[in-house]
Structure 1
Amino acid sequence: MFTARQTFTSFQRRAFSASSRQSSKVTVLGASGGIGQPLSLLLKLNPRVTELALYDIRGAPGVAADISHINTNSKDIKVTGYIPTTEGLREALSGTEVVLIPAGVPRKPGMTRDDLFNTNASIVRDLAKAAADSAPDANILVISNPVNSTVPIVAEIFKSRGVYNPKRLFGVTSLDVVRASRFISEVKGTNPANENVTVVGGHSGVTIVPLISQSNHPNISGETLDKLVNRIQFGGDEVVKAKDGAGSATLSMAMAGARFAESLLKASQGQKGVIEPTFVESPLYKEKGIDFFASRVELGPKGVEKIYPIGKINDYEQKLVDACLIDLRKNIEKGP
């Protein structure tokens, strides 16, 4: 039987074994929220992170003090919580390499991601303005929903400041891949860690397109396939319902956000062949008026290195893509 300490240490070794490699400053905007706190904890465990800057409208210094007590292998990491002032936000962003934005209100029962737009759009807009002014060269990772609309908002803010770099702006869609891997493993009775389902499109409802034909189990079909795809597309609703109005997918989203940040840091520090799904400015469907699209993206020191096409898909998946593009275009246009 493992003790809590043994289990924790084992997790550190498995998840982040690169303690001797170059590290970076990472900033979390919305660090006190349901996603922000576990996300900050996971980043504290990452030896690639030398400095962790936490900002929120309340509570960030407390979160920083709390996680700074953890005896991780990242012995040199500096954790600072900043007060909610213009100066505090500027200091949190100054010199940072990666900015994660989970700030915003959570989804409640009966709400769609689009219902969140009016509130979260203004929050993301204001934080994007600060990032454009204080960290124009940073990698911006947008978690705040609806991602299909908030990412275009950030793009327009950076354009208005004359500092937009499409290779540095990412919508975090890793949770869709995490869910797809978990759910398909439940159907097939396999180890979810060994599953890898490509998910393209966007990050809400029918815009989430799992390419099961490219997975380890391409022969799933019929009602089983319909139920699997629906669960992947609307898995967030399960969590919202289960939490009975007390929140949405915060822990799994934090894990997915930390995973993407880790991949980005690995790539920026020279590791080759780092590929993650992410919602970025993409040429794949620009001729149809879709400026942003999630697909497999190779990451590098300058952000986006290569955007992969979705590859060969079957007729069933083509119908999913067609439905995705209709909604995705509306979501993107709604943003700016």
Structure 2
Amino acid sequence: MRIAEAALADVVLVDIVEGMPQGKALDLSESRPVVLNDVSIVGTNDYADIAGSDMVITTAGVPRKPGMSRDDLIEINGKIAVTMAENIKEYAPDAFIIQVANPLDAITYVISEITGTPKNKIMGMAGVLDSSRYRYFIAEALGVSVKDVQGIVLGGHGDTMVPLPRFTWVGGAPLPEVMPADQIEAIVERTRKGGAEIVGLLKTGSAYYAPSAGAFEMAKAIIKDEKRILPVAAYLNGEYGISGLFVGVPAVLGKDGIEKIWQLPLSDEELAALKNSADHVKALVDKVNELGILG
């Protein structure tokens, strides 16, 4: 919906449930005279209909239930990811891939391994979402506009994610100068549990609208060559002292996908937290291999 209403691109919705993507596509298409766009929106159960796509956003997977962590989904969502990746490789081998399903960093690894997509063209959508939650919680607590809160969250998309108060600004002032440390820590913890908070409220689903906004922002940055610095799950090859993993870090997104990893001058404590998060991602990747998900 976000992509179509911004007239960013034509859209193909793919799902295995017969009639569901077709119904959603028809519903969205019937709004076009109101929102005034002429993009094509197609619903299908056939992966062949993604042939020639410039970008694929992968969201398919089982959502968490209350009490579950993202990591608990690795086996079932890993197998779903293999099917998606095999079809992307067959029908849209040159596409950029933005991966959303949980556990995000490990599933991005699965799709990367199956498709062989160049590392600059595949990334996970986590940091944009986590940073948006973090910024919203700060704005809400201080009673200010979200427009005037800038902040960033690094690391894996899970309980070890790394919000960075030292790189967070409110109306030009560093966050630690306008908010007490205990309140900052409470917001950091709420950010880490942000997805679980929504799952607990919904009972039968997980976050939907904010993740879609994050995926849209990344897609737009690439399609429109905006050169945005956004936190994404990117493949690291020595940056921040991490290699061989998809981990959330700031990156410049433009027409070539991830055009540069943006290296912040982290303190020893911040870097240690990021590496701890990367270790957690590695443990999940090791589990993927132990379970034989890649075949």
Per-residue Cα deviation, 1:104-149 (whole angstroms, up to 9, x for no partner)? 1111101000111111111111001100111111011110100021
Question: Taking CA–CA contacts closer than 8 Å with sequence separation of 6 or more, which of the two structures ends up with the larger relative contact order?
Answer: 2
Deviations 1:278-318 (A, max 9, x none): 10111245855552221111112221111111323373x34
Per-residue deviation, residues 212-243 of structure 1 (Å, max 9, x unmatched): 10111331453222211111111111101111
Identity score, percent: 26
In structure 1, how many angstroms separate the alpha carbons of the residues matched to 2:196 and 2:175? 26
**Residue 247 of structure 1: SS of its match in structure 2?**
coil
Q: Are 2:244 and 1:282 equivalent residues in the alignment?
A: no
Equivalence for 1:266: 224
Which residue among 185, 194, 213 is the counterpart of 2:139?
A: 185
Aligned to 1:36: none
Residue among 181, 204, 213 paired with 2:166: 213
Q: Which deviates the most, 245-254 or 288-297?
A: 288-297
**Which residue matches 1:68?**
29
Shift of 1:328: 2.2
2:256 maps to what in 1? Answer: 302
Aligned pair partner of 1:202 in 146, 149, 156: 156
**Equivalent residues of 2:130, 2:153 under 8 A apart:** yes
The reply to whether residue 168 of structure 1 matches residue 121 of structure 2 is yes
Instruction: Write the mapping of 1:1-336 to structure 2, written as runs, cut at 5 A.
Output: 41-49=1-9, 51-58=10-17, 59-70=20-31, 71=33, 75-82=37-44, 84=45, 88-91=46-49, 93-159=50-116, 164-173=117-126, 174-206=128-160, 208-216=161-169, 217-219=174-176, 220-243=179-202, 245-267=203-225, 271=226, 273-285=227-239, 288-313=242-267, 315=269, 317-336=270-289
Q: TM-score scaled to structure 2, two decimals?
A: 0.88
* Equivalent-residue separation in structure 2 for 1:222 and 1:122 (angstroms): 42
Q: How far, CA to CA, are the matches of 1:189 and 1:310 in structure 2?
A: 28
1:185, 1:155 → 2: CA distance?
A: 36
Q: What amino acid is the match of 1:312?
A: L
Instruction: After TM superposition, give the deviation of residue 102 of structure 1 in Å.
Output: 0.9
In 2: Cα distance, 1:329 partner to 1:289 partner: 10
Does the 8 A contact of 1:175 with 1:253 survive in 2? yes
**Cα distance in 2 for residues equivalent to 1:144 and 1:282:** 20
How many residues align? The count is: 279
Q: How far apart are residue 96 of structure 1 and its match?
A: 0.8
CA RMSD of aligned residues (A): 1.9
Distance in 1 (CA, whole Å) between partners of 2:90 and 2:112 is: 13
Residue segments in structure 1 that go unaligned for 5+ positions in a row:
1-40
- Distance in structure 1 (CA, Å) of the matches to 2:142 and 2:240: 36
Describe the superposition over 1:130-182 as per-residue Cα deviations: whole angstroms up to 9, x where unpaired: 001111110111101000210000111023xxxx3001101001210110110
Deviation string for 1:247-297 (max 9, x for gaps)?
111122122222222222221xxx4x3221110111245855552221111
Aligned to 2:293: none
Q: Cα gap change, 1:287/1:223 in structure 2, threshold over 3 Å: closer, same or farther?
A: closer
Question: Take 1:248 and 1:299, find their aligned partners in 2: how far apart are those partners?
Answer: 27
Unaligned runs of 5+ in 2: 290-295
CA distance in 1, matches of 2:24, 2:51: 20
